[in-house]
Chains A and B, each alone.
Chain A
Amino acid sequence: MPATRALSVRHMVVRASSALLAVERVALMGLMYLLTGLILVNVVTRYARFPIYWIDESAVYCVVWLTFVGASAMTRLRLDFAVTMLTERLSPRHQKIAKVISTGMVVVFGIALIVTCMLWMDPIGLARAGFDGRKLAAETFNFLYTEHTQTLNWPTWVLYLTLPIFAVSMTIHGLANLLEDLELVPRTPPKGFALSELDGVN
């Protein structure tokens, strides 16, 4: 019984990671189309003498979201700059240990980022203040929920949400990679990513 439960937890992690990756895939395409579109509209409208005031800021936040959504996806796809000069000289067994440590670090970072986001966004304090940002600010000097962006005038916390989302998805992807590295689950090839000749460069 405990064995099957452990098995089902493992599969749940992998399934959650795959589902997340599918969402991230669509989000990344969408953000990239949006970014290109925004910049081209900016060129055209400026030449038509009707520059749209909020385009620059929108494009910047588009790139910020692209960064963290993409960073989460690339973790699962195991794409990143890493220094491999030492590890590639190790024996296969030691290489495996190094791999487990380095994947474990992803999980450590994911969890640490969740903790720092909790400290920063203080969801418990916010709930205690009856979800009133001004009350939270008065009680704790945390003014996060009272701020707005300069040209879009959106509440900034909405844009900052990419960080807690990134922290959680990074943790789930890290766990899925770790389970694969420990050979507790079989490797799942990512779906819908035809990554070109750059695979395996780093």
Chain B
Amino acid sequence: MITSAAFVAIMLVGVPIGLCLCLAGLVYIAASGNPVLFQSYPLQLFGGVDSYGLIAIPLFILIGERRHHAAHRRHGDGVRRLAQGRARLRNILANMFISSILGSATAQVAIMAQIMVPEMEKKGYDKTFAAGLTAYGGMLGPIIPPSVMFVVYSVLAQVSVSDMLIAGIVPGVILTVMFCLVIALMGYVYNYPRADYQTPRQRVMTILRTSPTLLIPIVIVGTILSGLANATESAAVGAVAAALVGKYWTKEFEFSQLPQMMLRSAIYSAIVLFLVAAAAVFSWVLIFGKVPQETAGWIQSAAKDPVSFMLICNVILLIIGTVIDGIPGLIMTVPILLPVATDVYHIDPRHFGVVVVINLVLGLLSPPVGLCFFVAAAVTGAKPGKMFMVTLPFFVISCVLLVLLSLYPSLSLILIK
């Protein structure tokens, strides 16, 4: 109780979340009358990141760093050209492939909104619609590989990273297709501008121009599925592939940029990894204080079967997810909910991971307080309230997908060996 109160109080003052978790851990130990735990505190912090699975994070971020760099340099080309054709669909696809893999949907929306929204506005789209769409495009990033959120989850849940990345494919594709359908439908109903006519030759060229970025998720999934490398190593292979594509194909990368790129990747990795370490300390004190056990008892009395448990989880996670970004959200909820899911309701941890990740990202986009809208609004000047209304269909279909996932775990497990 003291721990949670301390945690919420300092979090609201604007103390970084990682630090809040660390400080709450210290407060708990001081209050528990078990001061000998102070001696174990540094080692728990160390142990939180002492894990093979986490090696993938700096490498994934390195790939992402290269692609951000590319997206930024090709001002008026590349990404922007993507925005010119069928802007609506391209927005979704671009977000899917040039996705930020920081595990931060807010960061991704901030970046994409800056690049995409002015372009769509020029093409005659309503600014609110463009900004809202960009925010929803940000939802796909963490579900399609490479995904730092899945890596963090797999470490928290002690499941295979490769399995997690593969488990996200079917739900990610379903979501993309459903988004595209809604966009097409809305375009028809509201008569949004159509794309300029393209000859078949022009279409092929557009696809070829965007394919280098398409290549990266394919290289990653391909190396995992073919047995060439595990998820971590696939990230290193992907980074090399991204560098070579940038140097010799799209020609927007020079090796002299490498040191700065390494530095930025290292810092952004540290942001994520320190959160993981902090979460390890925090969940250790929670577990020592038997909080998950008590929560389990409470949920068990409310949910009689796995499906109702999953639905309760959906609601809890959506609410938490409205104000908390992806990775911090994972770190706070997984240590408490996962043991209940697997031990009491015998839910596959990989399936549970897919549901948790989608929930936390959707939370950021849920009316009326989803954080991503405020970020998109701040960057583009659109009105958040109006954005909620315009994008309501996306919210509804995302919720439909979550219900489907809760009912049919095979949607995420089908591709796993």
Direct contact of A and B (CB under 8 A): yes
- Mask of A22-63 contacts with B, CB within 8 angstroms, 1/0: 000100110111011001101100000000000010011101
- Mask of A85-102 contacts with B, CB within 8 angstroms, 1/0: 111000000000011011
Q: Which residues of B contact A85 (CB under 8 A)?
A: 323, 371, 374
Interchain CB contact (< 8 A) of A70 among B12, B236, B267: B267
**Interface size, B (range):** 35 or more
Q: A40 contacts B17, CB within 8 Å?
A: no
Check A16 for interface membership: any CB of B closer than 8 A: no
8 A Cβ contacts from A68-126 to B: 68-71, 73-74, 77, 79-87, 98-99, 101-102, 105-106, 108-109, 112-113, 115-117, 119-120
Q: Which residues of A contact B264 (CB under 8 A)?
A: 194-196
Interchain CB contact (< 8 A) of B269 among A70, A98, A164, A195: A70
Check A198 for interface membership: any CB of B closer than 8 A: yes
Q: A28 contacts B14, CB within 8 Å?
A: no
Overall SS of chain B's interface:
helix
Check B26 for interface membership: any CB of A closer than 8 A: yes
Partner-binding segment picked from B74-82, B176-184, B213-221, B255-263: B255-263
Total inter-chain residue pairs, C-beta < 8 Å: 213
Check A4 for interface membership: any CB of B closer than 8 A: no
8 A Cβ contacts from B2-61 to A: 10-19, 22-23, 26, 38-43, 45-46, 49-52, 54-55, 57-59
Check A163 for interface membership: any CB of B closer than 8 A: yes
Q: Which residues of B contact A63 (CB under 8 A)?
A: 49, 54-55, 57-58, 269, 273
Check B345 for interface membership: any CB of A closer than 8 A: no
Q: B19 contacts A105, CB within 8 Å?
A: yes
8 A Cβ contacts from B255-313 to A: 259-260, 262-271, 273-277
Determine how close the nearest CB of chain A comes to the CB of B118; give it in whole angstroms: 14
Q: A163 contacts B42, CB within 8 Å?
A: yes
Check A67 for interface membership: any CB of B closer than 8 A: yes
Report if A81-B38 is in contact (Cβ < 8 Å); known contacts: A29-B263, A87-B14: no
Check B86 for interface membership: any CB of A closer than 8 A: no
Q: A66 contacts B59, CB within 8 Å?
A: no
Q: Which residues of B contact A153 (CB under 8 A)?
A: none
Report if A67-B270 is in contact (Cβ < 8 Å); known contacts: A43-B237, A85-B323: yes
Determine how close the nearest CB of chain B comes to the CB of A10; give it in whole angstroms: 23
Check B342 for interface membership: any CB of A closer than 8 A: no
Determine how close the nearest CB of chain B comes to the CB of A26; give it in whole angstroms: 9
Check B72 for interface membership: any CB of A closer than 8 A: yes
Q: Which residues of B contact A116 (CB under 8 A)?
A: 26, 38-39, 41-42
Q: B271 contacts A43, CB within 8 Å?
A: no
Interchain CB contact (< 8 A) of A66 among B69, B236, B273, B328: B273
Q: B236 contacts A40, CB within 8 Å?
A: yes
Q: A98 contacts B104, CB within 8 Å?
A: no
Q: Which residues of B contact A194 (CB under 8 A)?
A: 260, 264
* A99 to B13 alpha-carbon distance, docked (Å): 8
* A112 to B371 alpha-carbon distance, docked (Å): 32
Check A183 for interface membership: any CB of B closer than 8 A: no
Known A-B contacts: A83-B12, A102-B15. Give 12 more (CB < 8 A): A32-B266, A35-B55, A67-B277, A80-B16, A81-B327, A82-B17, A112-B26, A116-B38, A162-B46, A192-B263, A198-B110, A201-B110
User: Which chain B residues have a beta carbon within 8 Å of chain A's beta carbons?
Assistant: 10-19, 22-23, 26, 38-43, 45-46, 49-52, 54-55, 57-59, 62, 65, 68-69, 72, 102, 104, 106-107, 110-111, 114, 228-229, 232-233, 235-237, 239-240, 259-260, 262-271, 273-277, 323-325, 327-328, 371, 374-375
Q: List 18 A-B contacts (CB under 8 A).
A: A28-B270, A29-B263, A32-B263, A36-B62, A39-B236, A43-B237, A63-B49, A66-B266, A69-B270, A70-B270, A71-B277, A80-B16, A81-B16, A81-B275, A82-B15, A85-B371, A85-B374, A112-B23
User: Which chain A residues have a beta carbon within 8 Å of chain B's beta carbons?
Assistant: 25, 28-29, 31-33, 35-36, 39-40, 42-43, 56, 59-61, 63-64, 66-71, 73-74, 77, 79-87, 98-99, 101-102, 105-106, 108-109, 112-113, 115-117, 119-120, 160, 162-164, 167, 192-198, 201-202
